[in-house]
């Protein structure tokens, strides 16, 4: 089972690590779904030594038929991470504005790219400020990194694989969007409402509060209630693969490092009008 020591870090513990050489690389990935970009938040104050990395343009590819936040081009991702000073073997800590979603997607992306030593600051920037720790407004100029992106270190679902997982006996595809979107009652972002046939609804807000995760035992119980057990393959999707990355992180915390992310998620699914759409409270 995965522990939290290699996935999450508390503000006080991170402050102690920063005081020792060499410190972890700090990536500020603050982001809002409807904008504006988090760069202004970063300029107003950030963790000392942190470098801003934009989720939309640097950690994801351009939106299109693969969804609103598709996988990045490996070469472009490598260039962005090297610009941010990420080096082979050097630990990385990512943080966001507190809900934990952008940080989880950054964590997932770096892990998918083959950089294993990545943690999320638990509670994000608000937790750092609440702990009375110092904030900086100077943008550092880190020495260029040497990280090599090797895609595929975490499992990924495309639309066909997501459909097979949702339809297979003994497997679970989690739809972690708000229930009205799953039911097809409303869709504030994408052009079609509903869910992938066979997917089970488990809204992320039911097990992550304010960007903070409950104990692993509580996560396991909550996932088990949705049908996720140790012997059942599991994947997750949301609107565009950001919130679902947080679900994958929660599954890692619960001891399921094999959990797959449907990166295209609902925005990628409905980009093809021939794909089936289910509505209502039942998965099928």
> Hey, which bits of the chain come out as E strands?
8-9, 25-28, 51-52, 92-95, 118-121, 156-157, 172-175, 200-201, 234-237, 260-262
60 catalytically annotated: no
Beta bridge partners of 212: 209
Catalytic residue among 238, 244, 259, 260: 238
| Termini Cα distance of the chain | 31
d(CA 277, CA 181): 12
Beta bridge partners of 64: 67
Contact between 128 and 10 under an 8 Å Cβ cutoff? The reply is no
d(CA 196, CA 167): 10
Classify residue 101 as exposed, middle or buried by CB count within 10 Å of its CB (0-12, 13-18, 19+).
Answer: buried
Residue 106, SS3 per DSSP: helix
The string over 185-217, giving b where at least 16 C-beta atoms fall within 10 Å of a residue's C-beta and e elsewhere, is eebeebeebbbbbbbbbbbbeebbeebebeebe
- 129 Cβ contact list (under 8 Å, min separation 6): 135
> Hey, which bits of 89-131 come out as E strands?
92-95, 118-121
Q: Residues with catalytic annotation? A: 238
């Amino acid at each position: 089972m995965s522990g939290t020591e290699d996935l999450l870090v508390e503000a006080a513990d991170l402050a102690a690590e920063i005081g020792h050489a060499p410190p972890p690389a700090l990536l500020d990935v603050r982001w809002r779904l409807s904008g504006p970009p988090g760069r202004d938040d970063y300029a107003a104050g950030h963790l000392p030594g942190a470098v801003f990395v934009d989720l939309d343009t640097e950690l994801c590819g351009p939106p299109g038929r693969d969804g609103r936040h598709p996988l990045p081009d490996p070469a472009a991702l490598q260039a962005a991470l090297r610009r941010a000073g990420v080096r082979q073997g050097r630990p990385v800590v990512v943080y966001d504005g507190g809900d934990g979603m952008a940080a989880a997607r950054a964590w997932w992306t770096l892990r998918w790219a083959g950089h294993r030593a990545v943690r999320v600051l638990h509670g994000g920037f608000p937790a750092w400020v609440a702990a009375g720790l110092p904030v900086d407004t100077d943008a550092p100029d880190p020495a260029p990194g040497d990280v090599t992106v090797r895609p595929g270190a975490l499992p990924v679902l495309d639309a066909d694989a997501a459909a097979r997982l949702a339809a297979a006996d003994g497997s679970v595809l989690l739809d972690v969007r708000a229930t009205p979107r799953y039911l097809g009652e409303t869709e504030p972002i994408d052009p079609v409402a509903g869910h992938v046939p066979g997917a089970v609804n488990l809204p992320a807000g039911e097990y992550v509060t304010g960007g903070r995760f409950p104990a692993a035992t509580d996560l396991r119980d909550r996932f088990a209630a949705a049908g996720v057990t140790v012997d059942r393959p599991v994947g997750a999707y949301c609107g565009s693969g950001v919130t679902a990355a947080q679900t994958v992180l929660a599954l890692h915390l619960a001891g399921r490092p094999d959990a797959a992310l449907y990166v295209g998620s609902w925005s990628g699914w409905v980009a093809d009008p021939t794909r089936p759409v289910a509505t209502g409270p039942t998965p099928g």
